[in-house]
Amino acid sequence: MCGIIGVCNNKEAAKLAFLGLYALQHRGEESVGIVTFDGKEIMGKKDTGLVADVFDEKSLESLKGRAAIGHCRYSTTGSSTLKNIQPFLAVHKNKPIAVAHNGNLTNTEELYDKLEEAGSIFQTSMDSEIIVHLLARTRNGNKKKWVIDVLRQLEGAFSLILLIDDTIVGVRDPHGFRPLCLGKKDGHYLLASESCALDLTFAEFVREIEPGEVVFINKDKIESVFMNEEKPAVISHCIFENIYFARPDSFIFNENVYNVRKKLGAQLAKENNIDADFVMAIPDSGNYAAVGFAQEAGLPFEIGIVRNHYIGRTFIQPTQFLRDFRVRVKLNPIRSVLEEKKIIIVEDSIVRGTTSRSRVAELRKAGAKEIHMRISCPPIISPCFYGIDFPDKKELIASSRTVKEIADFIEVDSLEYLSLEGMLSVMKDSRNFCHACFTGEYPVKIPSNKSKYLLE
């Protein structure tokens, strides 16, 4: 769970990177960094905290140069200390090699051992440092050639933006797990995880980088190369980006996220409708599917809960204490809307079930008579090794309980999930999505003898 941005040949590169990261903040609230290069000097700033807290006008002014890459992150691999903040930067032969990485490599350990045996010393526990070491050791001759040589050694999920000398390189792994798109502003290129970052920088959306594609951007020249000659057998876009993670105003995997969510909600209504006084959502993530559901079902859409805007997103808070606290203050039900009503709540997903349970309890206290919950995806039963930070398998409520047992746990009058087939049916190309979290079918080999939580 990370957001990445790259800006080329723009005299306000750092400021555009900042704006882009601001738009991508939902992809990682824990830390943020920007690296720039002005042809001579390499500059950078990174820190824990929100984008708007870490950078101010003065610090952005000090990051000179026409090339910038940036990263915001919620820690997956690597402990969350200061030095583990991306982009990882090395100065090699007086030029930068910097890497911003979204995703998770699955052969980290093999690469790490091999490098250490050869005498590499590591500053961090991040995938991206491994990539920098490989780049420095492989550098020789034609840049496109040795960069591709390094990329072929990587396995797993990786959308990358590299800064090598004065070249920005955009990379998407052959399976296309994570999104990455190309934009243009005043004739110069940008790269970003999601198109919403282009909107905020007033850039124009050009296209998505394709699975397995590597683009080398130098000044205004762009060259596209594919990592492998033949196309990969399987494209595996992360469907959870569409369901929950990406912003609704982004265009990823060939489609607008908002449209996908509305269609998921409508499909859910087709599969699982019942009569009720109105349809509502847990704001804001459930709003889009709820609107689709209400339209399909012909029921009124209502706002039954007030959101406190002084708080971030529950899902990505690091400590248990804060999570509990924030659930409590975040959403307040409005009694005059709910009292004595039979309601349908549309949610995008259930992970542990504890948040849903406490919200349902609050709706009951505010007077709701019947509560029917509808979920716009199938039950989540397996962890993700490709970059979504689900909790451990045993904490995923659906991994060990039936839908009926989950309904009992969260104390709703009824609970229904969208079917796997229903979910895939609304996608433009249903074969091109990874659904491992719903099925346990992993498209890329996962680390054999270790759980993902032992990797650190």
Q: Which of 7, 8, 46, 9 is nearest to 28 (CA)?
A: 46
Min separation Cβ 132 and a copy of itself, Å: 6
Q: Does 92 bind a copy of itself (CB under 8 A)?
A: yes
Region of 36 (left: φ > 0; alpha: ψ -120 to 50; beta: rest) is beta
> 120 near 133, Cβ under 8 Å?
yes
Q: Does 333 bind a copy of itself (CB under 8 A)?
A: yes
Give the HSE-up count for residue 357: Cα atoms under 13 Å, Cβ half-sphere: 13
- Mark whether 72 is an active-site residue: no
Of the residues 61, 62, 110, 137, which one makes contact with a copy of itself according to CB under 8 A = 137
Question: Does residue 329 bind a copy of itself (CB under 8 A)?
Answer: yes
Nearest approach, Cβ of residue 284 and a copy of itself (Å): 7
What residues between 190 and 209 interact with a copy of itself by CB under 8 A? 196, 199-200
> Contact between 33 and a copy of itself (CB under 8 A)?
no
Closest separation in Å from C-beta 300 to a copy of itself: 7
247 forms part of the interface with a copy of itself (CB under 8 A): yes
| Dist. CA 409–CA 232, nearest whole Å | 43
DSSP tag of 165: T
Whichever of 198 and 350 has its CB closer to a copy of itself, that residue is 198
Does the bond joining 284 to the residue before it have cis omega, within 30 degrees of 0? yes
CA-CA distance, 332 to 342, in Å (whole number)? 18
Half-sphere exposure of 235 (CA within 13 A, CB side): 17
Residues in a beta bridge with 162: 99, 169
Least distance (Å) from a copy of itself to the CB of residue 273?
Answer: 18
Closer to a copy of itself by CB, 13 or 281: give it: 281
Question: For the residues of 191-253, what is the DSSP string, one character each?
Answer: EESSTHHHHHTTPEEEEEPPTTEEEEEETTEEEEEESSSSPPS---EEHHIIIIIS-TT-EET
Q: Which stretch binds a copy of itself (CB under 8 A): 18-26, 172-180, 181-189, 442-450?
A: 18-26
Quote the distance between the C-alpha of residue 323 and its chain's center: 19
**How many residues in the shown chain lie near a copy of itself by CB under 8 A?**
63
What DSSP assignment string belongs to 82-93?
A: GGGPSSEEEEET
Residue 113 in 3-state DSSP? helix
Supply the minimum distance, in Å, between the C-beta of residue 50 and a copy of itself: 6
d(CA 271, CA 418): 7
- Cα–Cα distance measured from residue 354 to residue 364, given in angstroms and rounded to the nearest whole number: 16
- Asked if residue 309 binds a copy of itself (CB under 8 A), the reply is yes
Minimum separation from the CB atom of position 442 to a copy of itself (A): 29
Residue among 301 and 442 whose Cβ is closer to a copy of itself: 301
55 touches a copy of itself (CB under 8 A): no
Q: Does 51 bind a copy of itself (CB under 8 A)?
A: yes
Instruction: Between 115 and 381, name the residue whose CB sits nearer to a copy of itself.
Output: 115
Residues 114-133 binding a copy of itself (CB under 8 A) are 116, 118-123, 132-133
Q: Least separation, in Å, of the C-beta of 93 and a copy of itself?
A: 6
Q: 265 vs 443, which CB is nearer to a copy of itself?
A: 265
Q: Of the candidates 256, 354, 414, 430, which one interacts with a copy of itself according to CB under 8 A?
A: 256
Catalytic residue among 2, 72, 434, 437: 2
**Residue 104 phi/psi, 5° resolution?**
-140, 125
Choose, by CB under 8 A, the member of 59, 109, 143, 301 that binds a copy of itself. 301
- Would you state the structure tokens that stand for residue 156, as one six-digit string? 């797993």
Tell me if the bond preceding 383 is cis, omega within 30° of 0. no
* Shortest Å distance, C-beta 454 to a copy of itself: 14
Cβ neighbours of 229 (radius 10 Å)? 6
Should residue 439 be labelled a site residue for a copy of itself when binding is judged by CB under 8 A?
A: no
What is the DSSP code string of 254-285? TEEHHHHHHHHHHHHHHHH----SEEEESTTT
The DSSP call for residue 316 is G
Per CB under 8 A, 320 contacts a copy of itself: no
Q: Does 70 bind a copy of itself (CB under 8 A)?
A: no
Hey, which residues are catalytic here?
2
Catalog residues that contact a copy of itself under the rule CB under 8 A: 19, 22-23, 25-26, 29, 50-52, 57, 90-93, 97, 116, 118-123, 132-133, 136-139, 196, 199-200, 247-249, 256, 258-259, 284, 287-288, 291, 295, 300-303, 306-313, 321, 328-329, 332-337
